[in-house]
Amino acid sequence: MSNNSIGSTAFKFTGQKSVYNGKVRDVYEVGEELVMVATDRISAFDHILPAPIPYKGQVLNQTANYFLKATADVIPNWLTSSPDPNVSIGLKCDPFKIEMVVRGYLAGHAWREYKAGKRLICGEAMPEGMKESDKFPEPIITPATKAEEGHDEDISKDDILAQNIVSKEDYEILEDYTLTLYAIGTEMAKERGLILVDTKYEFGKKDGEIYLIDEIHTPDSSRYFYMEGYEDRQATGEKQKQLSKEFVREWLMSNDFQGLEGQSMPEMPTTFIEEVSNRYIELYEIVTGEKFQKPADKDPLQRISENVENYLKEKNRATT
């Protein structure tokens, strides 16, 4: 297992204007573009866990780019280049302050709400008599507010429009794009023997046009079940076998942590860190059908800096 995990970054790229440190990505504004560096930080319950996960950032970046490229002819997206395994470069858009969460199955947060007796989530009805991991009659969109700090919160379409967070015209486009992307993702997952259970998308606007931004169909933004044995497991009440970050949440819950006030983050044993890393790599290979290539064993921060600077030099040369 490599020690070269990327816990944090502090680059000073040529032409850099600003930097924003997200939960797992560090976003640098350079010239008119965004340079998004996927670190190996991992978050759950809106808290960053104490140890980085080797290769997680690369998995996230390359999985997202695989799907961004596959859907670019259907939905416009922000990505223009990826000069390093951990880096995406693209258009700077003005982001909408919501996440478009789409759910095809009763799992995760929706199941926890359902189990607590709720039958409405974000204004969407959940039918009576469902079991965990059952398929919804139709996919439902359950948006969440984008929190600068703390927890993202569920919000209904009606409240989004009433609070003028997004205009009605734009929201209808976001809905259409969300369901279209989920349908494409579902088909791509099916080809790999997987079920795309739920996922989230983020969108932004540039020059009046709406773009898909950030990541797409990654283990951090999505939940996958294995298709083989799904029906049998549902029939017998067995837990579904899944590829997602949910097992990290389950480990935290089993160690009495759900991000609630007064709870302490548990220590992460080395064996667990290795297991998480291996699970991320497994997901990448299964979802994309491509072999994961670990980069040469050199300082990843130096490698990223060199690759981004080379990209910026080439771009500058091409425009002068």
Same domain, 81 and 113: no
pLDDT of residue 219: 82
Question: What is the arithmetic mean of pLDDT over 33-48?
Answer: 93
Which tokens belong to 224? 């996958």
What lies within 8 Å, CB to CB, of 183 at 6+ separation is: none
User: 4 lies in a domain?
Assistant: no
pLDDT of residue 125: 97
pLDDT band at 4 (very low <50, low <70, confident <90, very high): confident
Same domain, 135 and 230: yes
| Structural domain span for residue 196 | 95-247
**8 A C-beta contact, residue 271 and residue 246:** no
Count of structural domains within the chain: 2
pLDDT band at 3 (very low <50, low <70, confident <90, very high): low
What's the CATH code of the domain at 240?
3.30.470.20
Same domain, 240 and 99: yes
- Interval 111-158: pLDDT, tens: 999 999 999 999 999 999 999 999 999 999 999 997 665 567 999 999
pLDDT band at 253 (very low <50, low <70, confident <90, very high): very high
pLDDT of residue 138: 98
Which tokens belong to 213? 């931004």
Higher pLDDT, 173 or 218: 173
User: 218 lies in a domain?
Assistant: yes
For residue 25, the tally of other CB atoms under 10 A from its CB is 21
Q: What percent of the chain has pLDDT over 70?
A: 97
State how far the Cα of 246 lies from the Cα of 108, in Å rounded to an integer.
8
Residue 244 has pLDDT above 90, yes or no: no
Same domain, 27 and 44: yes
What's the CATH code of the domain at 33?
3.30.200.20
Q: What percent of the chain has pLDDT over 90?
A: 84
Domain finish residue from 247, 276, 307:
247
For helices 270-288 and 56-71, what crossing angle results, to 10°? 20
Domain finish residue from 247, 278, 309:
247
State how far the Cα of 51 lies from the Cα of 46, in Å rounded to an integer.
15
pLDDT band at 215 (very low <50, low <70, confident <90, very high): very high
Same domain, 23 and 128: no
pLDDT of residue 176: 98
Residue 237 has pLDDT above 70, yes or no: yes
User: 151 lies in a domain?
Assistant: yes
User: 241 lies in a domain?
Assistant: yes
pLDDT of residue 1: 47
Higher pLDDT, 244 or 165: 165
User: 8 lies in a domain?
Assistant: no
pLDDT of residue 147: 66
Mean pLDDT of all residues belonging to the chain: 94
Same domain, 192 and 77: no
Same domain, 218 and 275: no
Same domain, 101 and 84: no
Question: What is the arithmetic mean of pLDDT over 184-203?
Answer: 97
Same domain, 201 and 106: yes
For residue 168, the number of C-alpha atoms closer than 13 Å in the C-beta half-sphere is 2
Same domain, 215 and 230: yes
Q: How far is CA 236 from CA 131, 231, 232, 240, in A?
A: 11, 9, 6, 11
User: 5 lies in a domain?
Assistant: no
Sign of the alpha-carbon dihedral angle for 157, 163, 164, 168: positive
State how far the Cα of 63 lies from the Cα of 184, in Å rounded to an integer.
15
Classify each residue of 197-226 as buried b or exposed e, where b means 16 or more C-beta atoms within 10 Å of its C-beta.
bbbbbbbbbeeeebbbbbbbbbbbbbbbbb
Q: Which of 80-89, 161-170, 245-254 has the lowest mean pLDDT?
A: 245-254
Same domain, 22 and 38: yes
Same domain, 44 and 25: yes
- Interval 270-320: pLDDT, tens: 999 999 999 899 889 999 999 999 998 789 999 999 999 999 999 888 876
User: 284 lies in a domain?
Assistant: yes
Domain finish residue from 193, 216, 247:
247
pLDDT of residue 148: 60
